[in-house]
């Protein structure tokens, strides 16, 4: 069909000339129109085949480029000594029941000689009501009861409510809780149930911790439900850092500049800290590298019948096999098909010992450039020139053919669609 297409273009014949040659009989016109219909149909088929082949090639190249770009970026970051994968410090408290360090600092925010004591933690006010028979009816004898709550911000809520004659205590408690929660007060209500005793309790809790979060609950309904009395008082956290006393409305505090902690309980003695290298980011990058390598390998395997894709697959598997011993030492194993797997526990240990960092930065650790150097080279090539892993034969027969005959066929079809319609109209006339 491509020969027929080329002949049409080279001959200079137009669709109109095929239909409207002077002296054309109605029979000839009808025959020409029929021939054009066949050509038009065949043209769509030829164009579709070129398009399908091109789409398959494009999908492969796009997969290679995307996987290569991601792998190239990750390896570049791992090879950069100034990236946030390295020089991170994690602090461990000597008493994690008293506090935990929540924000990793850098080496300049040292806690090495810092001592912290925790006298009290910040608390929210809690008013825990009476435990009532959950299914008993009714608590308030069908009479209207009042409840007034004022939160720590001075906002007030007052309402009256009557328990239905057939309403259980737990249903009524939930109805009260829903009313409070819908009000926007800085007080939250909940109902606790005990399946063993079949009892339920209304609990009011301030929305925040700190001494200023206290609230009041008064009225006959508060008394009946038992929530007028304070069970736990609102309070600030009190702690010392190197002997200097501090207070906080919350339990999230800054110990020194750049290092935060969460206070959890009182400490019997001063809490001290030990610094460890924090390899969390490096471990994540190593896992990303493995996943991106596997994605690139999978892309090559998806088009393995192509010599260029096969060359990419063989190159990747050759590199991983060459450096298998070094990969194993940091928790990365090489599978039979050349893909990589991670033993997370082993990798975490390698990160803590410094072995993973040494492996990641070691570009001269073996023949040629070492694993990371080899991977960076191939990742950069696939990211910037993915078509270098496509055979020349496919590039010439699929890409170039599509850009010439295929594209020209598309232009021919766009024009023919209107000519073909006109031809069928004349065919019906003749």
Q: The whole model's pTM is what?
A: 0.55
Mean pLDDT, range 9-18, rounded to an integer:
46
Mean pLDDT, range 197-218, rounded to an integer:
96
Decide if 98 contacts 271 (C-beta within 8 A): yes
Q: What is the pLDDT of residues 231-255, one digit of tens each?
A: 999 999 999 999 999 999 999 999 9
**Is the predicted pLDDT of residue 199 greater than 70, yes or no?**
yes
C-alpha distances (whole Å) from 421 to each of 1, 22, 30, 35, 46 are: 22, 20, 13, 13, 20
Mean pLDDT, range 53-57, rounded to an integer:
62
Task: Give the count of alpha carbons within 13 A of 221, CB side only.
Answer: 23
Mean pLDDT, range 223-236, rounded to an integer:
96
User: Residue ranges per domain, the chain?
Assistant: 1-88+279-430, 95-122+236-271, 126-225
**What is the DSSP code (8-state) at residue 142?**
T
Mean of pLDDT over the chain: 80
Q: What is the pLDDT of residues 266-301, one digit of tens each?
A: 999 999 988 777 788 899 999 999 999 999 999 999
pLDDT band at 107 (very low <50, low <70, confident <90, very high): very low
- DSSP letters, 254-280, are EEETTEEEEE-S--SS-B-EEEEE--H
Q: Identify the pLDDT of residue 337.
A: 92
pLDDT band at 112 (very low <50, low <70, confident <90, very high): confident
Q: What is the pLDDT of residues 368-400, one digit of tens each?
A: 358 888 899 999 999 999 988 988 656 655 544
**What CATH number matches the domain at 126-225, 1.10.1060, 1.10.3470, 2.60.40, 4.10.830?**
2.60.40
Q: Identify the pLDDT of residue 191.
A: 97
């Amino acid at each position: 069909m491509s020969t027929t297409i080329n002949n049409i273009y080279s001959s200079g014949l137009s669709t109109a000339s095929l239909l409207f040659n002077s002296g054309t009989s109605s029979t000839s016109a009808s025959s020409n129109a029929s021939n054009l219909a066949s050509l038009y149909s065949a043209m769509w088929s030829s164009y579709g085949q070129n398009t399908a082949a091109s789409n398959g090639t494009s999908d492969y190249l796009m997969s290679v480029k995307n996987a290569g770009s991601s792998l190239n970026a990750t390896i570049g970051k791992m090879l950069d000594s100034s990236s946030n994968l390295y020089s991170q410090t994690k602090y461990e408290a000597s008493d994690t029941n008293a506090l935990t360090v929540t924000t990793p600092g850098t080496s300049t925010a040292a806690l090495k000689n810092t001592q912290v004591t925790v006298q009290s933690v910040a608390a929210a006010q809690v008013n825990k009501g009476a435990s009532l028979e959950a299914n008993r009816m009714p608590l308030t004898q069908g009479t209207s009861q009042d409840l007034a709550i004022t939160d720590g911000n001075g906002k007030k809520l007052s309402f009256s409510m009557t328990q239905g004659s057939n309403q259980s205590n737990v249903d009524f408690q939930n109805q009260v809780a829903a009313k409070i929660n819908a009000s926007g007060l800085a007080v939250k209500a909940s109902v606790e149930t005990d399946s063993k005793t079949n009892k339920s309790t209304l609990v009011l809790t301030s929305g925040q911790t700190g001494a200023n979060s206290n609230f009041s609950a008064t009225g006959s309904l508060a008394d009946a439900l038992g929530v007028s009395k304070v069970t736990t008082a609102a309070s600030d956290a009190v702690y010392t850092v190197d002997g200097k006393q501090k207070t906080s409305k919350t339990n999230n505090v800054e110990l020194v500049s750049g290092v935060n902690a969460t206070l959890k309980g009182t400490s019997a003695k001063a809490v001290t800290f030990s610094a460890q290298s924090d390899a969390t980011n490096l471990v994540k990058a190593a896992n990303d590298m493995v996943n991106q390598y596997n994605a690139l390998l999978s892309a090559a395997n998806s088009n393995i019948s192509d010599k260029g894709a096969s060359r990419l697959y063989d190159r990747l598997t050759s590199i991983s096999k060459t450096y298998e011993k070094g990969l194993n030492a940091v928790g990365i194993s090489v599978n039979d098909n050349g893909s990589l797997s991670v033993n997370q526990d082993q990798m975490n240990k390698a990160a803590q010992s410094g072995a993973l960092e040494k492996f990641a930065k070691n570009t001269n650790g073996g023949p040629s450039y070492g694993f990371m150097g080899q991977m960076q080279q191939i990742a950069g090539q696939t990211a910037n020139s993915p078509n270098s892993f496509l055979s020349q034969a496919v590039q010439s027969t699929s890409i170039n053919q599509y850009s010439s005959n295929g594209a020209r066929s598309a232009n021919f079809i766009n024009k023919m669609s209107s000519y073909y319609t006109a031809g069928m109209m004349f065919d019906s006339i003749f």
